[in-house]
């Protein structure tokens, strides 16, 4: 059990992300307004399904998602993978997303 908790809360190394990767904060708008990772766009989990066509049209090479704990972003990753997106990464939290940002400059702060 201790190993599982250690894995859950240990930092995840940044994946190799292509230029133009889109960073998505799936928290609620008030959470996003209180603070978010630089370059992140806000698409709350409840609205993600209605934004899939716009995401597909913007053709990001990869998507990185985060929320407050990793639960909503994990659900969002599954939803996007089921919609056919293949390069989808769960950064879990804003802090982890910020750490990934420090390791590479992949963000695409435009759209949707």
Give domain status of residue 8, yes or no: no
* pLDDT confidence band for 106 (50 / 70 / 90): low
* Cα–Cα distance, 102 to 53 (Å, whole number): 30
Q: What is the CATH number of the domain that holds 73?
A: 3.40.250.10
Share of the chain above pLDDT 90, in %: 60
Is the residue at 12 inside a domain? no
DSSP assignment string, 71-88: HHHHHHHHHHHHTT---E
pLDDT recorded at residue 97 = 83
Contact 93, 66 (CB under 8 A): yes
Is position 61 within any domain? Answer: yes
Q: Is the per-residue pLDDT at 45 higher than 70?
A: yes
Residues in the chain: 112
Report d(CA 22, CA 62) in Å as an integer. Answer: 6
Q: Which two tokens stand for residue 64?
A: 């990185």
In a domain, 59, yes or no: yes
Q: What is the pLDDT of residues 12-43, one digit of tens each?
A: 556 677 888 899 999 999 999 999 988 899 99
Hey, is 57 helix, strand or coil? Answer: helix
What residues make up the domain containing 81?
Answer: 17-103
Residue 38 CA to residue 52 CA, distance in Å, equals 22
Q: Is residue 10 part of a domain?
A: no
Q: Which residues are catalytic?
A: 67
**Considering its fold, how many domains does the chain have in total?**
1
User: Which tens digit of pLDDT belongs to each residue from 50-78?
Assistant: 999 999 999 999 999 999 999 999 999 99
């Amino acid at each position: 059990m201790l190993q599982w908790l250690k894995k859950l809360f240990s930092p995840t190394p940044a994946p190799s992300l292509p230029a133009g990767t889109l960073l998505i904060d799936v928290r609620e708008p008030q959470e996003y307004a209180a603070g978010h990772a630089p370059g992140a766009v806000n698409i709350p989990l409840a609205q993600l399904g209605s934004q899939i066509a716009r995401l597909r049209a913007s053709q990001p090479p990869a998507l990185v998602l985060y929320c407050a704990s990793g639960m909503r972003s994990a659900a969002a990753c599954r939803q996007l993978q089921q919609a056919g997106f293949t390069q989808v990464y769960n950064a879990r939290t804003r802090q982890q997303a910020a750490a990934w940002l420090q390791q590479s400059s992949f963000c695409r702060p435009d759209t949707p």
